[in-house]
Amino acid sequence: MKVLVVNCGSSSVKYTLFDMNGEKKIAWGIIERIGQPEAYYKRQTSTTEEKEDSVKVANHSEAVELIIKNLLDKKTGSISDVKEISVVGHRIVHGGDKFSNSVLATEEAKEALKSLFPIAPLHNPANYAGILAVEKMLPGVPSVLVFDTAFHHTMPDYAYMYALPYELYEKDHIRRYGFHGTSHNYVAHRAAAMLGKPLSEINLITAHLGNGSSITAIQKGKVLDTSMGFTPLGGVIMGTRCGDIDPAIVTYLMGFYPKYKDANTLDVMMNKESGLYGISGSSDMREIVKAKAAGNKKAKLAFDMLAYSVKKYISAYFGALNGVDGLVFTGGIGENSYTVREKICENLSALGIEMDKVKNAESSSEERFVSTPGSKVKIMIIPTNEELMIARESKKVLEKG
């Protein structure tokens, strides 16, 4: 069975074609800057090297059309007929309270997805455009919707509710949803395998650290709590997002700064002008680490703030779980920045978290332990694979019919 995984952003389409017999990647790539005068198409297959072209792509439909044509190319393609694709799996950022599992993209499901546009205006419309584009190019091939929020639906009400008037939950479904669920789900299963125990018997804290970051507490295989909330803005400091702040700051700014009286301006400020970028002028942790080493005080501050915000969540979740078997780092920063990992784990020995700094500093793209032999909590670095998780979910839904 071949599964095509599609991840549509506001101006990009990322894809991976899997052969589920052995879960092998056949082809993968990304089209970026959709709708701009010049877009870029980067692609690769299991038998060819990476190639990048400048292309003109006006919308998601044209992007998907270009991808399908490339997959069918007689010289460099990976399939001879679109019928070889059994199902297409779509990454959907926000499932709200309507979706707690992956589902077939029926007309009813698509209408429910459209109703969630107001609470995920940056992501869900692009995800929806990708579904329509795939249906146009691959008529008759079923699509499956895989939600970033689904894994977090096991949270108890005392963890997901906000202390706002209850009617806001009843009427507008304002609650904590959490995100990066596909990634947290994948690394949790891999962590259990590395520990040699069933996921249902262990407690984990998983830290997905990238341009967007979230921390999740997993109790016996089920999510107890997670740092992101109603939207992906809450939680730890991120690349351009502020994370947790005193909500009264918003009303203060609206009252004293004319430019922040508009809700959209405030939203842009908190989502795109804050976080690491707002403090240091860069959202790239690699640049921040270099600037910090060169003596840049703002870079050091941004670095320390990120590490401290993650440390606070780890400590809180350790208490909520009443002990932890494993701490997992994943995502672009979590997998690649040994300095960030080291700073986060500094002075956590009281919780039984002790890092082997030599192992941690070793360069590797493999799953590995970086805790000391005596550490009660095993520290793991696990490269995430959201695309494979989406392919698995899509295969499972298709087989269930």
Output the six-digit token pair for 108.
Answer: 């009813």
Specify whether the CB–CB gap between 88 and 138 falls below 8 A.
yes
> What secondary structure does DSSP assign to 321-361, as a single string?
HTS-SEEEEEHHHHHH-HHHHHHHHTT-GGGTB-B-HHHHH
Q: How far is CA 305 from CA 4, 150, 182, 230, 232, in A?
A: 39, 29, 26, 23, 18
3-state helix, strand and coil shares in percent for the chain, rounded to the nearest 5: 45, 20, 35
Confidence (pLDDT) at 121: 81
User: Which CATH number is correct for 199-386, 3.40.50.2300, 3.30.1490.20, 3.10.310.30, 3.30.420.40?
Assistant: 3.30.420.40
Instruction: Name the residue ranges covered by the structural domains of the chain.
Output: 2-147, 199-386
Residues of the chain with pLDDT under 50: none
Q: Give the 3-state secondary structure of residue 282.
A: coil
Output the six-digit token pair for 68.
Answer: 């399908």
148 is catalytic: yes
Length of the chain: 401
As a whole number of angstroms, the longest Cα–Cα distance in the chain is: 63
For residue 240, the one-letter residue type is T
Q: Give the 3-state secondary structure of residue 201.
A: helix
pTM here is 0.93
Output the six-digit token pair for 348.
Answer: 């956590």
Q: pLDDT per residue over 250-285, tens digit each?
A: 999 999 999 999 999 999 999 999 999 999 999 999
For Cα atoms 310, 317, 234, give the angle at the middle one, nearest 5 degrees: 50
Exposure class string for 6-42: b at 16+ Cβ within 10 A, else e = bbbbebbbbbbbbbbeeeebbbbbbbbebeeeebbbe
What is the phi/psi pair of residue 2, to 5°? -105, 135
Confidence (pLDDT) at 187: 98
Output the six-digit token pair for 226.
Answer: 């997670």
Output the six-digit token pair for 232.
Answer: 């992906």
Strand partners, 45: 27
d(CA 148, CA 209): 15
Output the six-digit token pair for 109.
Answer: 């499901």
Q: pLDDT per residue over 232-249, tens digit each?
A: 999 999 999 999 999 999
Residue in 73, 148, 246, 356 annotated catalytic: 148
Specify whether the CB–CB gap between 332 and 340 falls below 8 A.
no
Dihedral over Cα of 110, 113, 117, 118: its sign: positive
First to last CA, the chain: 15
d(CA 68, CA 31): 12
d(CA 137, CA 71): 12
Confidence (pLDDT) at 79: 93
d(CA 102, CA 92): 10
Class of domain 2-147: alpha beta
Asked if 2-147 and 199-386 have one fold, the answer is: yes
Confidence (pLDDT) at 88: 98
Specify whether the CB–CB gap between 317 and 344 falls below 8 A.
no
d(CA 194, CA 81): 39
Q: Could you tell me which residues come within 8 angstroms of residue 373 by beta carbon, excluding any fewer than 6 positions away?
A: none
Provide the 10 A C-beta neighbour count for residue 135: 18
Specify whether the CB–CB gap between 375 and 355 falls below 8 A.
yes
d(CA 352, CA 260): 45
Q: Which of 28, 11, 39, 97 is nearest to 390 (CA)?
A: 28
